[in-house]
C-alpha cells in the first residue's frame, strides 16, 4: 500500500458523503492547490469559490498542469479520463471532510500552532527540531486557513509520525473549524495582538478565537502557552489538559534566561525545565524569534523528548522563517522580511536591526488590518524605529504617522515617500558597502516588487 493519499481514497471518501464522483485510475496525490497556476504534477486541485474568481473556471487549467484529482462544484467541460473528479455543492466543506478523513487514516500526532505573529516561523522551526527524532510532516508555506489547512494535509503520508500545522483566522469560529479537521494533540498559542481587529472587532474577540485552540484540546493533550502574554497566561488555570507555559516569567514551566543576540547568526540563551537547565543556540536571528524556539522545545517535550535532546536539536537545526538575507552589488546586506508586518513583528525586526554593526537602514511600509488602532500603532512603531536605525525610509499615506512619530522621538534622518517605488529608489541611490537594510511591510503592500531595485544597487 502506498503511503500517499490516493485518488481511490478521495473517490471513496467523497462517495461516502453522497457526492458525485468520476473516478480515474488510482494515482498518488502528493499535495494540494487552490490556484491553477501553482498546480504541480500529482496535486489535488480544489475549486474554491473566491472573492475575485471562481475556481471552477480553472479546473481545466489545473488538470492540464498535472492535477490528478479535483473537487469542484461543476463538472468541467471535456473528457478527463486520467483524473478523479468529485462534484459537490460546497467545495470548502468537502475538502475539509476529505482532509479530516485522511488525517484519521494516517493517525499522526498533530501539533497545532496559532498566534497573531510568528506562526509560520514557529511552525517551520518546530518541524525542523522535531525532525531530529520523528518523521515529520508540516503545512507548506502559509496554508493555514479554512481553505489552506485542508490542502496542507493532502501531503500527509501514512508513515508520518508527527504533523505540525499552522492555524490562522480572520473570522469568528475559524480556529475551532480548523482544529476539528486537524485534531491537534498539542496546541501552541504564541501571542495575541491587534492584527485582524478590523475583522473581529476587538482584542478580546481575537483572544477568544486564538485561545479556542487550547480550550478544545483533549484531556490527554498538551497546551503550550506564552506565559509572558497577559491575555494568554491566565487560561492555563482553566484547561483540563496538560499545560507547559513558556517565556521569561518566573512562573513559566519552560523558562528562558537572558538572550544573547548574535545578529544574523541567531540568539543564545539558557532554558530551564524542572530541575534541568540547558544552553540553547538558536539559528533564528532576533530576540523576537525566541518564542518560536520555546514552542519547538515545548512541543518536543510534550512528545517525550527530554530538555537536553530538545536543546541539542535546536542547535543542530538550520534557520527557518520569513526573513531572508541577500547582498547587493554594492556590498550591502538586505534583510528581506517584507512578507508581512504587525506591531509585534515590526518591533522585533527593528530591535534585531538595532544590534547590527554598520549603518542600519529601515525601509518600511504599512501594517494592515489594524482597524481603529492603525494610526496609534504606526506611531508606536515610529518611536521604536527612532532608536533602532540610522536612516528611516517609509512609504504610503498610513506611514506618515510612523515618520512623524520617529521625528518627534528625535530621529534625525527620516524620509517619507508617497510610493514604495520612490522609497526604494532613494535607498538604492545611497547604499554603501557594510550597510544593513531591513525591508518590511504587510503582504498587501507588495514590497516584493521593489526588492530587485535594492539588490541591483551598485
Contact 440, 366 (CB under 8 A): no
Q: Is residue 241 part of a domain?
A: yes
User: Which tens digits make up the pLDDT trace of 126-165?
Assistant: 999 999 999 999 998 889 999 999 999 999 999 999 999 9
> What pLDDT is stored for residue 196 in this prediction?
62
> What pLDDT is stored for residue 395 in this prediction?
95
Q: Is residue 101 part of a domain?
A: no
Q: Is residue 342 part of a domain?
A: yes
> What pLDDT is stored for residue 320 in this prediction?
65
* Cα angle 265-266-269, degrees, rounded to a multiple of 5: 135
**Domain total in the chain:** 3
Same domain? For 354 and 236 the reply is no
Same domain? For 139 and 47 the reply is no
- pLDDT over 70 at 119, yes or no: yes
> What pLDDT is stored for residue 368 in this prediction?
85
Q: What is the mean pLDDT of residues 272-282?
A: 96
Q: Which of 292, 316, 340 is the C-terminal boundary of a domain?
A: 316
Q: Which of 287, 316, 345 is the C-terminal boundary of a domain?
A: 316
- Among residues of the chain, what percentage have pLDDT more than 70? 98
- pLDDT over 90 at 195, yes or no: no
- pLDDT over 80 at 424, yes or no: yes
Same domain? For 389 and 347 the reply is yes
pTM of the model: 0.84
Cα separation of 138 and 184, whole Å?
13
CATH code (residue 160): 3.40.1190.10
- pLDDT over 90 at 252, yes or no: yes
pLDDT band per the 50, 70, 90 thresholds, residue 400: very high
- pLDDT over 90 at 357, yes or no: no
List of residues 6+ apart from 409 with CB closer than 8 A: 382, 383, 386, 387
Concatenated DSSP letters of 329-363:
TTS-EEEE-TT---HHHHHHHHHHHHTSSS-EEEE
> What pLDDT is stored for residue 59 in this prediction?
96
> What pLDDT is stored for residue 391 in this prediction?
96
Q: What is the mean pLDDT of residues 82-90?
A: 96
> What pLDDT is stored for residue 458 in this prediction?
67
Same domain? For 264 and 131 the reply is yes
User: Which tens digits make up the pLDDT trace of 109-118?
Assistant: 999 999 988 8
Q: Which of 288, 316, 344 is the C-terminal boundary of a domain?
A: 316
> What pLDDT is stored for residue 226 in this prediction?
97
User: Which tens digits make up the pLDDT trace of 6-49?
Assistant: 999 999 999 999 999 999 999 999 999 999 999 999 999 999 99
Cα separation of 202 and 52, whole Å?
27
Helix (H, G, I), strand (E, B) or coil at 74: coil
Contact 284, 263 (CB under 8 A): no
> What pLDDT is stored for residue 201 in this prediction?
75
> What pLDDT is stored for residue 110 in this prediction?
98
Q: Is residue 37 part of a domain?
A: yes
Same domain? For 56 and 128 the reply is no
* Cα angle 458-450-374, degrees, rounded to a multiple of 5: 130
pLDDT higher at 452 or 304: 304
First and final C-alpha spacing in the chain: 56
Amino acid at each position: 500500500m502506498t503511503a500517499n493519499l490516493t485518488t481511490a481514497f478521495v473517490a471513496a471518501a467523497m462517495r461516502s458523503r453522497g457526492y458525485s464522483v468520476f473516478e480515474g485510475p488510482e494515482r498518488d496525490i502528493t499535495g494540494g492547490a487552490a490556484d491553477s497556476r501553482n498546480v504541480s504534477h500529482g496535486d489535488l486541485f480544489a475549486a474554491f469559490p473566491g472573492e475575485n474568481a471562481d475556481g471552477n473556471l480553472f479546473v481545466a487549467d489545473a488538470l492540464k498542469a498535472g492535477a490528478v484529482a479535483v473537487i469542484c462544484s461543476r463538472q468541467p467541460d471535456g473528457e478527463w479520463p486520467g483524473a478523479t473528479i468529485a462534484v459537490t455543492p460546497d467545495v470548502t466543506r468537502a475538502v475539509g471532510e476529505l482532509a479530516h478523513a485522511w488525517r484519521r487514516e494516517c493517525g499522526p500526532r498533530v501539533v497545532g500552532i496559532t498566534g497573531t505573529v510568528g506562526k509560520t516561523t514557529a511552525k517551520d522551526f518546530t518541524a525542523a527540531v522535531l525532525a531530529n527524532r520523528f518523521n515529520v510532516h508540516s503545512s507548506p508555506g502559509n496554508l493555514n486557513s479554512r481553505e489552506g489547512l485542508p490542502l496542507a494535509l493532502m501531503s500527509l503520508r501514512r508513515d508520518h509520525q508527527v504533523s505540525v500545522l499552522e492555524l490562522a483566522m480572520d473570522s469568528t469560529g475559524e480556529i475551532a473549524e480548523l482544529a476539528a479537521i486537524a485534531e491537534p494533540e498539542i496546541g501552541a498559542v504564541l501571542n495575541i495582538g491587534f492584527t485582524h481587529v478590523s475583522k473581529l472587532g476587538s482584542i478580546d474577540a481575537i483572544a477568544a478565537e486564538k485561545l479556542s485552540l487550547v480550550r478544545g484540546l483533549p484531556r490527554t493533550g498538551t497546551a503550550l502557552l506564552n506565559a509572558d502574554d497577559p491575555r494568554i497566561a491566565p487560561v492555563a488555570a482553566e484547561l483540563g489538559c496538560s499545560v507547559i507555559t513558556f517565556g521569561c516569567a518566573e512562573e513559566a514551566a519552560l523558562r528562558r534566561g537572558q538572550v544573547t543576540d548574535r545578529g544574523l547568526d541567531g540568539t543564545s540563551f539558557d532554558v530551564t525545565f524542572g530541575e534541568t537547565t540547558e544552553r540553547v543556540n538558536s539559528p533564528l536571528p532576533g530576540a523576537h524569534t525566541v518564542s518560536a524556539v520555546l514552542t519547538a522545545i515545548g512541543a518536543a517535550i510534550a512528545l517525550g523528548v527530554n530538555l537536553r535532546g530538545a536543546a541539542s536539536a535546536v542547535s543542530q537545526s538550520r534557520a527557518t522563517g520569513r526573513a531572508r538575507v541577500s547582498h547587493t552589488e554594492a556590498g550591502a546586506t538586505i534583510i528581506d522580511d517584507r512578507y508581512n508586518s504587525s506591531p509585534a513583528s515590526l518591533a522585533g525586526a527593528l530591535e534585531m536591526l538595532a544590534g547590527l554593526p554598520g549603518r542600519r537602514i529601515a525601509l518600511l511600509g504599512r501594517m494592515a488590518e489594524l482597524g481603529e488602532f492603525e494610526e496609534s500603532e504606526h506611531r508606536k512603531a515610529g518611536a521604536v524605529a527612532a532608536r533602532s536605525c540610522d536612516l528611516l525610509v517609509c512609504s504610503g499615506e498610513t506611514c506618515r504617522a510612523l515618520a512623524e512619530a520617529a521625528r518627534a522621538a528625535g530621529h534625525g534622518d527620516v524620509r517619507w515617500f508617497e510610493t514604495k517605488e520612490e522609497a526604494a529608489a532613494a535607498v538604492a541611490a545611497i547604499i554603501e558597502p557594510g550597510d544593513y537594510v531591513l525591508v518590511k511591510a504587510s503582504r498587501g503592500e507588495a514590497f516584493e516588487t521593489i526588492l530587485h531595485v535594492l539588490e541591483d544597487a551598485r
